[in-house]
A = this chain, B = another copy of it.
Amino acid sequence: MFESAELGHQTDKATFESEVPALRAALLDAQFELLDLRRFAVVVLINGIDGAGKGETVNLLNEWMDPRHIQTWAFDVPTEEESARPFMWRYWRALPPKGKIGVMFNNWYTEPIRERVERSSKRGEFDQHLAEILRFEEMLVREGVLVVKLWFHLSRAGQKKRLKDLEKDPKTRWRVTERDWRFYDLYERYREVAGHALRLTSTGDCPWTIVDGSDPRFRALFVGRTLLEALQKRLAIAQRNWVSRQTAAPLPPQIDNLNLLNALQLRQEMDKRSYADQLERLQGRLALLTRDEAFAQRSLVLVFEGADAAGKGGAIRRITSALDARQYRIVPIAAPTEEERAQPYLWRFWRHLPGHGKAVVFDRSWYGRVLVERVEGFCSEADWMRAYAEINDFEDQLVRSGSIVVKFWLAISKDEQLERFQAREAEPHKRFKITEEDWRNREKWDDYARAVCDMVDRTSTEIAPWTLVEADNKYFARIKILRTLCQALESALGA
């Protein structure tokens, strides 16, 4: 893995000075093409051994290119806000928008490797973490992001020399800490763990490039050319207006007419009085649960999906009226904003994740990817097919970080929807108006039904199951939702 990088590559001054001007010009050209196109973002990961010139190299890249369009992030110990959310949250926040380059020091590889070197994680946990990283990077690539992964390496002797040299110079002494020397003592262990990580996470789409860090001129040219080549290749593809040629594996065939939705008995009995009684009791239960001490260290992520006029808004209000206004936020999902369109699909949901003791209710959600975007053809088949796994990963991260994820699909019959549309159209209040789009969606009823069934089959997991709610009777639906929510909270909080 590290063999070539330990050969002691060197570049003499004359070669360096003759090559740099053309390299700089080419990098700058590529950067401006990237900016003009605004079709993809670039993420550069900077990892490796301390003292191998990571900081200097990034400084140099900033000098060679236009630093106004490079965003550099260095992650330290997680802050309060970061600790309350999944591990990847702070990296999602730092993703560069299309057209920009994001350089990340101490990124998602740093902690897993450090923990494994210090043996505070087991081999199995480490491999699991690496597998998650792989899936995350694969998602980035599919979303169009160019990921360049650089590993700065030094031989053991080389590292010692670098640290000593830095310590000698008063201008650089501040950069060598005790932690660096402690890590130096673990050199062999570190090399072994890193080698393992690099092997498991070098893929065709996101290979690692190992940089021999011993000679500043060599590594500068080497990194500059690596980045330039990656940029130029990706730009050439973007300029040909490239569309993903991935083909998705087919979904299972439909043999008969029985599916999850039409197996439901949509009209369930419940009279107003029984509703009022149960509503009050369940809201009381919910109020106590969300004020439970145990909830202060957890969070709640609620997802509401359903056909138009299925009663999502009404159900959400019955939940929130049992909560303290200070602890929840409702996020209605409509078309993405300009800033959201410049990011991978899930980015706009990550930005709304709740902190400890808080609840976020998504009124429509990331499932739009496999519902409306699939049915309307807003994304390719390959895009929505991969979304099932991406969503499961996302929810898995939520649950592991302490969130309680509860998802509802509100199912109504086509006739019931028609009645509700007509009732709304008779309403004088424009706030309930039915739009052309609502009528158009209705024409695609069967396509949506198919998409819903596939969605439930593929994303109802043991950690975040779907609850299908028979919703022709609003009373019944609301009570079922509240009861399911209370049960989920009780089981999660051990209350």
Mark interface residues in A296-336 (1 if CB within 8 Å of B CB, else 0): 00000000000000000100110011011111111010000
**Listed stretches A55-63, A128-136, A216-224, A374-382; interface member:** A55-63
Is the CB of A210 closer than 8 A to any CB of chain B?
no
**Listed stretches A64-72, A191-199, A391-399; interface member:** A64-72
**Shortest Cβ distance from A363 into B: residue:** B68
Q: How many copies does the complex hold?
A: 2
Specify which chain B residues have a CB less than 8 angstroms from the CB of A59 in the assembled complex.
Answer: 321, 323-325
A 395-415 contacts with B by CB, 8 A: none
A 71-85 contacts with B by CB, 8 A: 71-74, 79-81
Is B105 within 8 A of A326, CB to CB? Answer: yes
Instruction: Tell me, rounded to whole Å, the shortest Cβ–Cβ distance linking A445 to chain B.
Output: 25
Is A63 within 8 A of B339, CB to CB? Answer: no
Specify which chain B residues have a CB less than 8 angstroms from the CB of A103 in the assembled complex.
Answer: 325
**Listed stretches A139-147, A283-291, A486-494; interface member:** A283-291
Instruction: Tell me, rounded to whole Å, the shortest Cβ–Cβ distance linking A221 to chain B.
Output: 18
- Given the known inter-chain contacts A324-B55, A325-B59, A326-B55, please indicate yes or no for A316 contacting B431, CB distance below 8 A: no
> In the docked arrangement, what's the CA distance between A363 and B70, Å?
13
Is B171 within 8 A of A317, CB to CB? Answer: no
Is B28 within 8 A of A325, CB to CB? Answer: no
**Shortest Cβ distance from A342 into B: residue:** B337
Is A325 within 8 A of B80, CB to CB? Answer: no
Is A67 within 8 A of B171, CB to CB? Answer: no
Is B284 within 8 A of A171, CB to CB? Answer: yes
| Residue among B68, B79, B174, B431 making CB contact with A28, cutoff 8 Å | B431
Specify which chain B residues have a CB less than 8 angstroms from the CB of A328 in the assembled complex.
Answer: 72
Is the CB of A273 closer than 8 A to any CB of chain B?
no
> In the docked arrangement, what's the CA distance between A80 and B72, Å?
21
**Shortest Cβ distance from A327 into B: residue:** B74
> In the docked arrangement, what's the CA distance between A326 and B317, Å?
45
Is the CB of A440 closer than 8 A to any CB of chain B?
no
Known: A55-B326, A63-B321. 7 other contacts (CB 8 A): A28-B429, A59-B324, A63-B317, A67-B317, A67-B320, A72-B328, A338-B339
